[in-house]
Chains A and B, each alone.
Chain A
Amino acid sequence: MKLKLTVLSLVLLGGVSYGLYQLSYEVQALEREYAALNENIVKNREAIRILKAEWTYQNRPDVLQALAGKYLPLLLIAPYQVASVAEVPYPAVDPEKFSVPVPQYNPHRNYTPVVPARPVPNGPVQLATFTRGGAVQ
């Protein structure tokens, strides 16, 4: 009886400590992952900051004005070019003379749009100041 109890308690002790160690390692692995994720988020946020600054820099009004002047035949807006929606004349259509044929069935009933899979980045965003080959851009 005494022996059985001892064996049982030893087995129990072994089992519990195995479980405990297993759990502990699992938690440690998760914590490592968590830290890595946090680090990635920080890196990505920094990259986003830089990209936003870059975007604003590239969209400076004087740059846009120079580009518009180069590629668009636009001048100052004259007053007659501005109108409200109410001022736009509605096209008069005579339903007797001119009608649009209505389809018999809904052509879109069995249509499922193809949604392209989103590419998922596998790591922090790397700012493209140089190419993978090593050449500086």
Chain B
Amino acid sequence: MSELTWLTKSPRPRITLTNPLSHTHSDDRHMALRLEGSAKETLEQGRNRLVIALVVFAFCFVILSGRLVGLAISGIGADEAVATSGDVSPPVALGEGKRADIRDRNGVLLATTLATASLFAEPKNVIDPKEAAVKLATVLDDMSEAAILSRLSSARNFVWLKRNLTPTQQYRVNALGIPGLHFRTEEKRFYPMGSLVSHVLGFTDVDNRGIAGVEKYFDGQLAGSEGGPAQELMLSIDVRIQHALRDEITRHMSVFRAIGGAGMVMDVKSGEILGLVSLPDFDPNRPNDFSGDAKFNRITLGVYEMGSTFKTFTTAMALDAGTVGLADGYDATEPIRKAGFRIRDDHPKKRWLSVPEIFMYSSNIGAAKMAEDVGTKHQKAFLAKLGLLDKPSLEVPEVGAPILPPRWNSLETMTISFGHGLSVSPLQLSAGISAMVNGGKYINPTVVLREEGIAKPVRDVISPKTSDIIRRLMRLVVEKGTGGRAAAEGYVVGGKTGTAEKAVDGRYKRDALIASFVGAFPMDDPRYVVFAMLDEPKGNASTHGFRSAGWTAAPIISRLISRIGPILSVAPVNEASEELQKALFIPINSKEKNLASF
């Protein structure tokens, strides 16, 4: 069967072609023609080529089918990416790549990051810039037609028109249907409370990097570093208290036409700051619209000669050192003359005053003599223990260092005893006062929520016994002394007024005062220290023209404590009850002649 037989009609002999590739021999009965030489080679070559083509095609088909099976198993393109990413990362990463939120102690949102649309244009693709500008100006209220037109007709390929549109604006721009305009999703830091917590929060720049306040101090934690994801921050601030504080200080600032004001509320046991207000303040949503004065934090960065509030420290120091007893006193009849200075009283009694009287009538002469007896060295050490000579630690970058006197001799000892010559920040003062009333332990103030609500005291400043006397003395000031207007019925307020003349260009300015009041409540077991300060208050008819702290700053405390007491769940008590009177009794030991009988 391997022979090809060609039959012809011609009488030619029958030729049998033997397949040259098969080596079977045909029978010899027929005439056979064997192909030899070049013919055979040609055939062989053709056959070889066929085999090669076959192998190539077979190879291709194997590859194709292999790929087909592979695709069937693994899927293709985009789906492949989804499948693998789904396996590695958690289903949906929460807030991936977003700067973390800041909340207050109750979880109220103070700062968050939102995705917003930013509008940009490709001027080449804008067909009619003039018409587009007219249309866009109706949507982007704060941009003029001319400004939009100049951007749209610029030669560049890319121009920003407006960053961070509101969803409504984005919708309206879309509705205009102008070609060549596009949106890019960007992240914007948003502060829902506006200017309420401005100084503590600080603000961020266009690229969402913190550049002030806790935004800067905790920038690494909020932004998330290589070490871990972004973490939420919980502040010790309570927005309700913050608002009450800001509201009262704003009100009294306008009543007394003050150029500035500040206030804070601090927990004496944990050092947590529940409210911190510095006025004027700014809106962290648009910090560039505000002046440097508005961004100045008067509580932490500003340092002032605090005035008579320092007498609390002087009295505590003298009582704790034992240089004076509660029944003792000093003669405050004549002003002290020392090194060309005259130390006199603002509320002169012109007689011998007992220690409680010196404190309640805020006698400079008495305080100066008290400090003189204690001595410069001891005073320095005591104030250092209270943290008044070093830069305090707080979780904001804007913390001011105190201004110490260039020399610290007996004259400075005297002036510092009633709060002149040493400038400290209200933050330092409040932290010092909380050490005075909490049993004598200094606690570092903080704006971050403390987990247990109780802080580890840094050091003992005064004995618990002295602290108890200071509580009674501070209560006495409000009950009978200069701070009567700070009383808030039911909350047993105690405190100390402080009126200081502002030092401007090295001289005291008589008509510019810093009126402050630092208090604590409830005085039988103090839980909160409150501080209020007015910068350059002016007297009015209701204060009979007086501008001192007892008339201007003390009423803030009264209103404030009445407002925040219920929020802080401090139960109001009957202040006239015998029990309370006994607990806060202090013998005044006055030698004043009783003239009332005449």
Contacts and interface: CB of A to CB of B under 8 A. Distances in A.
Nearest to A52: B109
A61 B95 CA distance: 27
A21 B573 CA distance: 80
B115 A62 contact: no
B79 interface: yes
B109 A61 contact: no
Contact of A20 (B72, B166, B490, B491): B72
B572 A52 contact: no
Contacts of A52: 109, 112
Contacts of A137: 168
A72 B79 CA distance: 59
Given A20-B73, A21-B72, A79-B572, A38 B239 contact: no
Nearest to B171: A130
Contacts of B458: none
A82 B572 contact: yes
A76 interface: yes
Interface string A118-137: 00000000010110001011
Nearest to B112: A53
A24 B108 contact: no
Interface in A53-73: 53-54, 56-57, 60-62, 65
A34 B109 CA distance: 32
A61 B106 CA distance: 14
Given A56-B108, A56-B193, A77-B566, A84 B571 contact: yes
Contacts of A9: none
A27 interface: yes
A65 B239 CA distance: 13
Contact of B112 (A31, A32, A49): A49
B562 A129 contact: no
B243 A62 contact: yes
B566 A82 contact: yes
Contacts of A136: 168, 171-172, 175
B109 A53 contact: yes
B86 A56 contact: no
A38 B91 contact: yes
B345 interface: no
A7 interface: no
Interface in A73-93: 76-79, 82, 84
Given A46-B115, A53-B192, A60-B196, A129 B167 contact: yes
Interface string B194-223: 101000000000000000000000000000
A24 B247 CA distance: 66
A137 B114 CA distance: 21
B196 A61 contact: yes
Given A35-B82, A41-B92, A129-B171, A53 B571 contact: no
A82 B571 CA distance: 7
B72 to A, nearest CB: 5
Contacts of B3: none
A97 B91 CA distance: 67
A128 B247 CA distance: 33
A127 B116 CA distance: 13
Contacts of B573: 79
Contacts of A32: 79, 82
Interface in B91-143: 91-92, 94-95, 108-109, 112-115
Contacts of A10: none
Contacts of B349: none
B118 to A, nearest CB: 16
B105 to A, nearest CB: 14
Contacts of B79: 28, 31-32
Given A49-B114, A60-B193, A129 B168 contact: yes
Contacts of A21: 72
Nearest to B490: A79
B243 A28 contact: no
B158 interface: no
A28 B242 CA distance: 55
A42 interface: yes
A99 to B, nearest CB: 37
Interface string B167-194: 1100110010000000000000010111
A65 B250 CA distance: 15
Nearest to B111: A53
Interface of A: 17, 20-21, 24, 27-28, 31-32, 34-35, 38, 41-42, 45-46, 49-50, 52-54, 56-57, 60-62, 65, 76-79, 82, 84, 127, 129-130, 134, 136-137
Interface of B: 69, 71-73, 75, 79, 82-83, 86, 91-92, 94-95, 108-109, 112-115, 166-168, 171-172, 175, 190, 192-194, 196, 239-240, 242-243, 247, 489-491, 559, 562-563, 565-566, 571-573
Given A46-B114, A53-B190, A56-B108, 7 more contacts: A20-B69, A21-B72, A32-B79, A42-B92, A53-B192, A61-B196, A61-B242
